[in-house]
Amino acid sequence: MYRLIRMFSVVLSVLSLIIFTLIFTFNIFIPDKITIIDSNPYSDYNFLGIELLNFQSQKNVNLIQNKKSKDDKIQVNLLNIIPIKETVINNSKRQYVVLGGECFGIKMYTDGVVVVDIDDVETESGAKSPGKTAGVKIGDVIKKVDNVYIKSNSHFSKLLQESKGKELEFEIIRDGKKQKVKFKTLKEKDSNKYCAGLWVRDSTAGLGTISFYNPENNSFAGLGHAVYDIDTNRCLPLKNGEACPVTINGIYKSDKGNVGELCGVLGNNVFGNLCINCDVGVYGFTKCPNKEKIPVAIKSEIKTGKAQIVCSVDNTTKYYDVEITRIFSKSNDVNKDMIIKIVDDELIEKTGGIVQGMSGSPIIQNGMFVGAVTHVFVNNPKQGYAILAEKMLETSTCQEMQKHEQLNKAS
């Protein structure tokens, strides 16, 4: 009897461990939100071979049963008994965009000035650092001096000179939070000018690739990741910006340990204005090209395997073969949802793989826009990360874009 009880306890313990392991695993990997296109009663969304949705038959599938509730949520249960998690069902219409693939020039002007370095000032009494004394840090964004908004580097410098050493109040943004610091300039020994010992930046320029145009609101998106300051490696706070044509005049090829880049000349003509710089790309408004629209895939429709990217590394927009090698169920990085591999011999011959400037290149699979290139693997430039197309499309119609759209119409 004792042996029977002991065996039963062991079996119960093993079963409990299996059940808790399954609950933990499914809770992590089952998505918090599942998108269904055009009220499709069946969505082929599975994990480890277990279908998560089957509204048409509403039957148990292996270990999982799902019941749709009135508030568009489903309760996922293990063995039809133990609740695992609640998943939101997003019923959406099929979205269409006009495909990009063209290189474009980016001119950005910051909202305030970004502190990129802090230096000493040589005074009569020795070297001192007003910035360090005030607690200013590299990466801070100075937005105001004594409640006056900073317009540019030269405007900031003028306000500092006019202070003649009196105490100023800086309004700064640090790690997304607003702070105020007291600051005093110091008179430099040789020039007799009042100096702050701060190196600041108010603009930047570069190039990338347009991912798509959204004909619904004449917006466009590119890069798939933010434009970062080269010195602080932080997202540049965008006040306004311009998109312009670019002519590619050379390519530094990528190889192991060395990321290449597209070299180009930015044109003077402006075809669009930029209004958002964020983790999922740069966004703005322009006249949507009169070209054929392409459907946007949702995550559950994307599969590992053959695909293509569209880019213009030699001023001609072309399709090149790639493979989607991995799709992450969940990612800690907002713009690293997939891994792609360049397999096109022509593109590899031209660029060595993925180079700077190709960020934003749209990815096509089964006739649908599925994502955009975002990053390159430094030690294997034939591979890189990509962001989901639906994420970028969602940002192109977000509330902030709607606000800018209204401002554009009013002007």
* Domain at 310, CATH number: 2.40.10.120
| Same structural domain, 301 and 342 | yes
Strands (E) located in 157-313: 168-174, 177-183, 186-187, 194-195, 198-214, 219-222, 238-252, 261-266, 272-278, 281-286, 293-295, 305-311
Q: Is residue 407, in this structure, part of any structural domain at all? A: no
The residue with greater pLDDT, 249 or 48, is 249
What is the distance between the terminal CA atoms of the chain, rounded to a whole angstrom? 87
Total residues found in the chain within this entry: 411
Does 276 map to a domain?
yes
Domains: count for the chain = 3
Residues 124 and 64 reside in one and the same domain:
no
Q: How far apart are CA 32 and CA 52, in angstroms?
A: 12
Residue 371 Cα distances to 245, 301, 363, 388, angstroms: 23, 12, 5, 4
pLDDT higher than 60, residue 141 = yes
* Segment holding 92, helix H or strand E: strand 82-92
| Pair (250, 397) in one structural domain | yes
Active site residues: 225, 344, 359
Percent of the chain clearing pLDDT 90 (strictly above): 41
- Residue 45 — very low, low, confident or very high, per pLDDT cuts 50/70/90? very low
- Among 97-101, 152-156, 207-211, the range scoring the smallest mean pLDDT is 152-156
Query: CA-based diameter of the chain, in Å?
Result: 97
| 220 shares a domain with 180 | no
Q: What is the pTM of this model?
A: 0.78
Residue pair 276/408 in contact (Cβ under 8 Å)? The answer is no
Cα-trace Rg, the chain: 27
Compute CA distances 244 → 102, 206, 207, 270, 273, whole Å.
11, 10, 9, 5, 9
Which pLDDT score is estimated for 76? 64
DSSP conformation letters of 270-292? --EEEEEEETTEEEEEEPPPS--
Q: What is the model's pLDDT at position 50?
A: 43
| pLDDT reported for residue 22 | 66
Q: Are residues 141 and 154 in the same domain?
A: yes
Task: Let me know if residue 112 belongs to a domain.
Answer: no
Which phi and psi (to 5°) does residue 318 adopt?
-135, 160
**Residue 362 and residue 329 share a domain:** yes
Co-location of 253 and 216 in the same domain: yes
pLDDT tens for 353-364 read 999 999 999 999
d(CA 110, CA 197): 20
Is the domain of 144 the same as that of 241? no
In the chain, how many H helices and how many E strands? 6, 29
| Domain endpoint, select from 148, 166, 196 | 196
What integer is the mean pLDDT of 377-388? 94
Most confident of 87-96, 148-157, 159-168, 207-216: 207-216
The whole-number pLDDT of residue 128 equals 86
Q: Are residues 309 and 259 in the same domain?
A: yes
Instruction: Please indicate whether residue 92 or residue 320 has the higher confidence score (pLDDT).
Output: 320
Contact 212, 97 (CB under 8 A): yes
pLDDT beyond 80 at 159: yes
| Ramachandran angles phi, psi of 333, nearest 5° | -105, 130
Q: Measure the CA–CA gap between 280 and 394, rounded to whole angstroms.
A: 10
Are 88 and 167 members of one domain?
no
Of 128, 161, 196, at which residue does a domain stop?
196
The pLDDT tens digits of the residues spanning 257-268 come to 889 999 989 988
Q: What is the CATH number of the domain that holds 179?
A: 2.30.42.10
Residue 5 phi/psi, 5° resolution? Answer: -65, -40
Cα(116)–Cα(21) distance, integer angstroms: 48
For the record, the structure tokens of 329 come out as 């169920």
pLDDT at 64: 37
Domain that holds residue 155: 120-196
